[in-house]
Amino acid sequence: MRISGLAASLILTALALSGAGADGEAGKFDFYLLALSWSPTYCQSQGDRANRLQCDSVKPKAFVVHGLWPQYTSGYPAYCRTYIPDFVPRSLTDTILDLMPSPGLVGGQWRKHGTCSGLSQSEYLEKTRQAYERIDIPDGFEDATRRQVLSARDVEQAFVAVNPGLSANGIAVSCKKGRVAEVRICLTRSLEFRRCENVDRKGCRASRLVMPSDD
């Protein structure tokens, strides 16, 4: 029996959502990548599609946690098969909304990355908090109402300067349309700083980037 292109696409989508398209084995990875998103860049780039909980906050948000991602030395696992449900209950998402300001973001990160950590949902969210608390945010990057123009290297050096043990080849800046989008920091499984040349090589090298303000 022939299957139409649309039917085949629907079948593949269903398989992916059911976990049949999972890539990687839970708990088997080399290190973590903590992704910190510059909230004003996200809010401005998404416009009307932006998450209102994050972008309409009374107190403008600066760096927020995009996710904590298990990594291989080259590449990363995603959507790993696990006995733990995909759905993250609100009782758990509420515990981390101060860092990840959207239940949808928390759930999406669990499904794609958390399932590969080998941890339970609560353990993964606690690990994410511990990773965030491992990082000192430079003073100049804590104010979301302040617009800055600087290079990707400037951003990296600012983080390196206030985080002893963090080196230039253990951090990468992600940029989007001339704006700072994310800072990504490599951590061991025990959340110590480590080198990650493959991540560093893929980082933004722009000499002029805007860190937009939330106004």
Amino acid at 72: Y
Tokens of 54: 């994050």
Q: How far is CA 203 from CA 82, 85, 171, 181, in A?
A: 31, 33, 8, 11
> Average of pLDDT values for 110-126?
98
> Average of pLDDT values for 144-172?
97
* pTM listed for this prediction: 0.88
35-73, pLDDT tens digit by residue? Answer: 999 999 999 999 888 888 899 878 899 999 999 999 999
Q: Directed axis angle between helix 121-133 and helix 103-112, to 10°?
A: 100
For residue 95, what are the β-bridge partners? Answer: none
